Amino acid sequence: MKLVGLLVMLALAVVGVDALADLTQNRPDAVVDGTTTVVAFDVGTRDYNGTDIEAANALWAVCAATVSGTTTAPQEAAAGGFEVTISPAIGNNGHKRLVGCLEDGTLDRVQGHVASVTSMD
Amino acid sequence: MSTRALRTLLGGVTLAASGAYTFIYLYRWEWNRALMSAAIFVAAEVAVMGSLLAQRLKVVTERLDKMESPTPAQTVRLERIRSSAPPPRPTFAWLARPEQMNVFVPVLMGAGVLLSGIAWVVERLARATVTPVAERGLAAQLDGLALPAHGFATAERAPLDLLRGPVASRP
């Protein structure tokens, strides 16, 4: 009985580690020329020594390194927040890395909130 | 709810939540949050382990105290032995009474006189024996510095005459 329990635990551990590896895997995405991705995000600051656009620029300067391609500087969007354009478009792995960086505690006193990530042909 | 149950519940919830969120943040690629969550998990684990160990130590200590405590029969016997024990006697009874402290003075005076007598005898014996022996030894050691019995200048020339006197004294 104890052996069965041990085997079940071992199997669960293997499955869990494999699932976690799949979920956190990182690999290059397929590049499709002529496509773009628009990322809309906002920043929240607390006692930050600067304006929101400065905070957005600082955050983007750090997180732009998680994706490949050409990126623009954050521009204030009409609906509020900021937008950046990445070309060519990022894939699923790039999407995870970018959103994770923007919404993580990457910068002190600056918190990013991703509103949307839209890829276009 | 007892404190122990509350502590266990709090530790368990903290462990579960921080452990789960570590993996959730890893999935979201939020590394800073994952690190912080893992640090909270480790801290909660240490706290829970410390609490469990303290609890076990308390149980072991209580068990040891119970083992070392005397049985009721032993307690009764111990009480009887202690109650029937004779009162302790002072080792120097004459010192126990302050009015007899003057005994010290004659004792110290007698000991002083006795020691002075012994020292006087030792000094006399040393003076009578050591000085003559030392003088005889010194005289024997000074033999090497004695002048030659026949003087430095002799009629017969010896090989060492050149070293014993000036050259001008030669005949």
Q: Please state, for a pLDDT cut of 70, what percent of chain B lies above it.
A: 86
CA dihedral (A36, A38, A39, A40) in degrees, to 10, reads: 180
Mean pLDDT of B152-167: 69
Distance CA A105, CA B35 (A): 11
Which residues, 6+ apart, have CB-to-CB distance to A67 below 8 Å?
A86, A90, A94, A97, A98
Three-class SS state of B154: coil
Q: CB–CB of A37/A117 below 8 Å?
A: yes
| Domain extents in chain B | 3-72, 108-139
Picking from B27-41, B43-57, B77-91, B138-152, which range would have the lowest pLDDT averaged per residue?
B138-152
Closest CB from A24, A104, A105 relative to B27: A24
Mean pLDDT of B26-39: 93
* Domains of chain A as residue ranges with CATH: 36-120 (3.30.70)
pLDDT for the residue numbered B4: 84
ipTM comes to 0.80
For A105, the token pair is 């505690």
Picking from A43-47, B36-40, B85-89, B115-119, which range would have the lowest pLDDT averaged per residue?
B85-89
* Low-confidence residues of chain A: pLDDT under 50: none
- Closest chain A residue to B36, measured at CA: A105
User: What CA–CA distances, in Å, run from B63 to A68, B53, B55?
Assistant: 67, 15, 13
A108 part of contact set with chain B, CB < 8 Å = no
Distance CA A77, CA A6 (A): 56
Cα Rg of chain B, angstroms: 49
> Would the CB atoms of A20 and B26 count as touching at under 8 Å?
yes
pLDDT for the residue numbered B155: 67
Distance CA A52, CA A112 (A): 11
Residues of A in contact with B26 (CB under 8 A): 20, 23-24
Q: Mind listing the pLDDT tens digit for each residue in B66-101? A: 888 888 888 888 899 988 988 887 777 766 776 666
Listed by number, the residues of chain B in 12-31 with a beta carbon closer than 8 Å to a beta carbon of chain A are 23, 25-31
A96 part of contact set with chain B, CB < 8 Å = yes
CA angle B68, B72, B76 (to 5 degrees): 115
Closest CB from A24, A97, A105 relative to B32: A105
pLDDT for the residue numbered B130: 87
pTM for this model (two decimals): 0.58
How many Cβ pairs within 8 Å bridge chains A and B? 31
More confident position, A31 or B168: A31
Mean pLDDT of B7-29: 93
